Structure 1
Amino acid sequence: MPAPDYAVEIAALEAAAASGELRVESDGDSVTYRNTSDLLKMLDYFRTKASVVSVTPPSLATFAVFCGD
């Protein structure tokens, strides 16, 4: 499963914050925030998620245990 791409959500939230709008549309969904503070908290949330995804590489390691009898 590929890592989620939060760029669309981040761009929509940034545009709304810049314009002072509380209603955000992204990928066919619409959310109206109660206030600018809530909108900015969600923006921080998505930025944090995006940074974790970009920093954390997928695990491709295989481990084996050998016992010598």
Structure 2
Amino acid sequence: MVDRSQTLESLTAQERIALIGRLWDSLDPAAAAPLSPALAAELDRREAEADADPDAGIPWTALRDELRARLR
């Protein structure tokens, strides 16, 4: 195997992030993150629940502020 550490180390942060994206996109989703039938059913249930009442959640900014307050 070729030592590519020198090549990787010469990449900028932006180039490394782009490479990570290309690698991620090249993965078969079913193989990269297989879902059990139980998990798939739970995700479907949560999606249906969110679709049925989209206003049930809280805005990200409110959640973020609440979490920051807890950390202080």
So what's the TM-score if we normalise by structure 2?
Answer: 0.29
Structure with the greater alpha carbon radius of gyration:
2
Structure with the higher helix share, 1 or 2: 2
Structure with the higher strand share, 1 or 2: 1
